[in-house]
């Protein structure tokens, strides 16, 4: 019961920040350009600084070396979910015009804007390396196979670009993670003033991420939410199939209990916020993607404390 209330309190922390973004967006403080600016500020500035600051301060060389082999668990989970998504398309009679998008959303989770703040609120900074291991697998899977699946729904004239894909995989957050790891592995100490800057700037990550989600929910419009077969299939994939599969994979594994909990939570995060953007780029069903980002984000606020009580 104590774990359940811990989960509830962690979610309340997050909900308050999301509500701030939602209410301010309702009052006209933010438009679409403002939300894009916040997203860029988080992903390109705050989060890389946060990675460097936290990894260099809280982790040793031995701990980081022991982490990398566990990358196989999220990778295997996503591969199996990918296979299941083909069956789900048939079961839920998903229309051809967004079947690829459905499969992508079924497999990938929001590991940064929701996953990182949730794990930090529930477990503290010691959860960060486990969050990042899952993030590495998730972001690679989304920007390769996930984007390809979305592309099959839309404009066939828009070609897959290896250069663009690599730039997305090796994004600023992942580069910040790599820099932090290299600094620890080679025992490099940065000047104190620079580390303080990274710490202050990195502190923007969680509140700005939550405000961004609040803005995105307000802009998507709660009135657009609906529970038809297409939507239900994604909800089942994100909140039932993914965490059950990850639980079956990690429970027998010889890894820290905290890593197991983080992996299970990360697997059950909402749809990636990048899905509507990529759908728009490839002329796929971006409205469907935006609705699913909103629905899964809201449902996650109910699901996460329940999941915390179970695990």
What is the sign, positive or negative, of the torsion defined by CA atoms of 190, 194, 200, 204?
A: negative
Mean pLDDT across the stretch 16-42?
Answer: 86
Mean pLDDT across the stretch 43-66?
Answer: 82
pLDDT-derived band of residue 24, with 50, 70 and 90 as boundaries? very high
Q: Name the fold adopted by 2-310.
A: Na+/H+ antiporter like fold (1.20.1530)
Rounded distance, CA 274 to CA 169, Å? Answer: 13
Q: Please give the pLDDT value at position 110.
A: 86
Closest CA to 294 of 192, 239, 189, 217: 217
Mean pLDDT across the stretch 248-275?
Answer: 90
Rounded distance, CA 19 to CA 288, Å? Answer: 23
CB distance 302 to 225 below 8 Å:
no
Q: Please give the pLDDT value at position 238.
A: 93
From residue 106, give the alpha-carbon distance in Å to each of 83, 149, 183, 235, 270.
10, 11, 36, 8, 10
CB distance 234 to 271 below 8 Å:
yes
| pLDDT tens-digit readout, 181-190 | 889 888 899 9
CB distance 135 to 110 below 8 Å:
no
Contacts of range 126-130, beta carbons closer than 8 Å, 24 or more positions apart: 126/58, 126/258, 127/258, 127/262, 128/51, 128/54, 128/55, 128/58, 129/55, 129/59, 129/63, 129/64, 129/67, 130/67, 130/70, 130/258, 130/259, 130/262, 130/263
Q: Please give the pLDDT value at position 269.
A: 92
Rounded distance, CA 184 to CA 56, Å? Answer: 6
For the chain, the domains span 2-310
CB distance 131 to 111 below 8 Å:
yes
The mean of the pLDDT values for the chain is 83
Rounded distance, CA 177 to CA 195, Å? Answer: 15
Mean pLDDT across the stretch 16-25?
Answer: 88
Closest CA to 147 of 28, 276, 300: 276
Rounded distance, CA 71 to CA 139, Å? Answer: 12
């Amino acid at each position: 019961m104590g774990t359940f209330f811990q989960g509830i309190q962690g979610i309340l922390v997050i909900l308050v920040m999301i509500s701030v973004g939602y209410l301010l967006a309702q009052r006209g403080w933010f438009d679409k350009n403002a939300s894009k600016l916040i997203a860029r500020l988080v992903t390109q500035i705050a989060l890389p600084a946060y990675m460097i600051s936290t990894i260099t301060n809280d982790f040793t060389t031995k701990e980081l070396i022991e982490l990398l082999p566990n990358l196989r668990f999220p990778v295997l989970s996503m591969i199996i979910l990918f296979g299941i998504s083909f069956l789900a398309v048939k079961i839920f009679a998903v229309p051809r015009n967004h079947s690829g998008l459905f499969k992508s959303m079924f497999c990938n989770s929001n590991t940064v804007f929701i996953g990182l703040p949730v794990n930090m609120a529930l477990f503290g900074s010691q959860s960060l390396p486990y969050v990042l291991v899952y993030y590495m697998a998730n972001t690679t899977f989304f920007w390769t196979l996930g984007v390809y699946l979305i592309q099959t729904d839309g404009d066939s004239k828009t070609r897959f670009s290896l250069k663009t894909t690599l730039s997305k995989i090796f994004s600023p957050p992942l580069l910040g993670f790599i820099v932090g790891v290299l600094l620890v592995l080679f025992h490099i100490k940065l000047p104190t003033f620079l580390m303080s800057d990274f710490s202050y700037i990195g502190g923007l990550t969680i509140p700005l991420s939550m405000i961004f989600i609040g803005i995105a929910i307000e802009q998507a419009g709660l009135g657009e939410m609906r529970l038809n077969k297409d939507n239900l299939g994604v909800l089942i994939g994100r909140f039932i199939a993914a965490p059950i599969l990850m639980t079956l994979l990690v429970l027998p594994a010889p890894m820290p209990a905290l890593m197991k909990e983080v992996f299970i939570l990360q697997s059950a995060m909402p749809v990636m916020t990048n899905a509507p953007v990529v759908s728009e780029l490839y002329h796929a069903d971006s409205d469907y993607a935006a609705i699913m980002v909103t629905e899964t984000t809201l449902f996650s606020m109910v699901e996460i404390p329940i999941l915390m009580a179970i695990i």
